Amino acid sequence: MGIFDAMNTSVGGLQAQSYALQNISGNIANSSTVGYKGINTAFEDLVAQSTTPTTQVAGGVNAFSRQTVTTGGTVSTSTVATNMAINGDGFFSVQKPTSVVDNQPVFNGVTNYTRAGDFQVNANGNLVNGAGYYLMGVSVDPKTGNPLGSVPTILQFQNNFVPAQSTTAIQYAANLPTTPATSAASTAPARSITAAGGLNPNDFPSGNPLVLGSPAPPANANITGTAVNNQMGNPITTSTALSGATGTDSLTPGFSVGDSIVVDGTTINFVSSGATGNDVNVTDSIGTLLNKISNITGGNVGITGGKITLGTGTNQDLVVAAGGTNPSPAYTQAVNGLTGLGFTLTNGQFTQARAPGTNTGTGAVAANDLTAFTSESISGGAVTAYNSAGTPVNLQLRWALVSTAGGQNTWNLFYQSNSTATGTNAMWTNVGTNFVFNSNGNLVSPSGSGITIPNVNVNGQTLGNIAMNFSAGGLTQYASTTGAATVNQITQNGYAAGQLQSVAINNSGLVVGTFSNGQNLDLALVTLSHFNGTNYLQALSGEAYAVTEQSGPAIAGASGSISGSSLEGSNTDIADEFTKLIVTQQAYSANTKVITTANDMVQSLLSVLR
């Protein structure tokens, strides 16, 4: 009975070694397969139960596979920008289409996992590896760089288009010379601003570029006259007539036919009846006249307690004068009419100035002063900015030294606002900030990391407010032999619209798109997953794995990192596999010897009967 058991055990041994040989063969065959994880063979004995240890015999053998998924392969560089490898723990999330309809893949929604990162862009803009698995990830907003969600989806980059982005910030770094190479008056006093190469205010008759905070457009200003009563002694109201019989609700004296007044250059005539346009009937009310004035000036009107209030509007100062030819009766009557409304006239007219603007403006350089400005300032560089429509704008900068008081140098920065300006129109605009440097060449004002240039407009193209940022120590004032500004950095964050031309994957796992406008923008983030039971994943064709009960579900995130333009090779060790091959061959041969020996023993037993 033991002889036949030995034969059967040897047959099981042959099967087990054949199983091991199959795994060795597969490992060697895939020694050059990207991302392949070898499969080792483990053996376990099959022992028949015995009542006592002294009668226990060796049992048979069973072979089973051991995954080596956690063992990494060698990472090497690749010339394909969309190839990538994982250093350490982690898997790419992928899906494989079940069919193709109208040249579009159809998926069943089942996510698999792989470390084979030989992805390339196909005709539909998907990233597909050599085994036909489609890469998954999270899309990224190209303007902000923020992920658009957290659940990975199949990535596609076909015909991506990025809209224009207006310039909102400029990154600037430069060194200004302690003494700029600018023209200085030959008669300039020693150590004066003009001798040091700064702006000379006397050279700018069309406007003083040193003046910062010039007023914004004036605002409406209200003026209220003195209290006035009607002929009955009561305070006037909007219904009080401009003229009328004694004892009626009318002015004293009133306006007469033929009178006229001029409001901001527009004449109002007083007629007997049938008034049209700017004419007023002498029998009309004060309210009618005030409304005519308001329509001309755009200012406020009103009557409170017999006091009339007029507004200047914002267009110009309010000027109300008597019409006609002095000393005609109509002129005199008109003057009397105005004074009858409670306003004091000087030389036959009333004037009220608009209120000054409350917003801080900036100094400017008129076109007539361009020659003086160019010779007394230095270039600060130029950058192409973009408006909201993506129109390129050439933003030119110049620096001018404006003060050397107190042992500190103060500079102003200008940008070219209108390159075609003429006469007294502004050509260069001051950004509105004094840049003050101490004797050590360090910027002491403004504090912080930058300034805001308000309401930037260049040649009619509106850019709006632009933040000008300086890194720590980015703006200095040290001696320079050339006397020119050394611009170390001048970049901006705007761009025109663009079409996607190519994609690449960087070492942060970001899919970066190169667009026709020259921008490189983040389009997607390649996500990694890991498992608690990694070596219990089910191997699929194409170096992919499926989730099993023993592996546990996929867990978002992994400790590994992505290397762009790289590939992970097979983890198969040829020398090790050849060693296993020798051992397997010898074990297989030994099992055949057992079968031969058992056969000889059976033959010997049978020969006893002869």
Rounded to whole angstroms, the Cα distance separating 254 from 340 reads 8
Give the pLDDT mean for 61-83: 85
Q: Give the pLDDT of residue 214.
A: 47
Do residues 529 and 91 lie in contact, with contact meaning Cβ atoms separated by under 8 Å? yes
For 157-200, what is each residue's pLDDT tens digit?
877 788 888 999 999 999 999 989 887 666 666 666 777 788 88
C-alpha distances in Å from residue 188, one per residue of 191, 193, 195, 479, 589? 8, 8, 5, 21, 108
Condensed to tens digits (0 to 9), the pLDDT of residues 333-368 reads 777 778 888 888 887 788 888 876 554 456 888 898
pLDDT, one tens digit per residue, over 416-434 is: 999 999 988 889 999 988 8
Q: Tell me: the pLDDT tens digits for 389-424? A: 899 999 999 999 988 888 899 999 999 999 999 988
pLDDT confidence of residue 606 = 79
Which residues neighbour 266 within 8 Å (Cβ) at sequence distance 6 or greater?
278, 296
Residues facing residue 556 across a β-bridge? 529
**Per-residue model confidence as pLDDT tens digits over 485-528:** 999 999 999 999 999 999 999 998 999 999 988 888 899 999 99
Residue 150 is predicted with a pLDDT of 85
Q: For the chain, what are the domain ranges?
A: 2-72+570-607, 75-163+499-568, 169-215+360-492, 222-352
What pLDDT, on a 0 to 100 scale, did the predictor assign at position 579?
A: 85
Note the pLDDT of residue 314: 83
| The predicted structure's pLDDT at residue 324 | 75
Confidence of residue 56 (pLDDT cuts 50, 70, 90): low
Q: How far apart are CA 397 and CA 429, in angstroms?
A: 10
CA distances from 546 to 67, 84, 95, 404 (A): 13, 21, 11, 75
Read off the pLDDT band of 266 (50, 70, 90).
Answer: very high
Q: Which tokens hold the place of 51?
A: 């009542």
pLDDT of residue 215: 47
What average pLDDT is seen over the chain? 86
pLDDT at position 356, please? Answer: 64
Whether the pLDDT of residue 23 is over 50: the answer is: yes
Q: Is 320:293 a contact under the CB 8 Å cutoff?
A: yes
Closest CA to 398 of 373, 362, 419: 373
Average pLDDT over residues 583-598: 80
Give the whole-angstrom CA distance, residue 271 versus residue 282.
Answer: 6
Closest CA to 26 of 39, 42, 43, 12: 39
Whether pLDDT at 326 is above 80: no
Average pLDDT over residues 42-69: 74
pLDDT on residue 597: 81
96-120 mean pLDDT? 92
Q: Does the pTM exceed 0.75? A: no
Instruction: Give me the pLDDT at residue 357, please.
Output: 59
**Alpha carbon of residue 90 to chain centroid:** 31
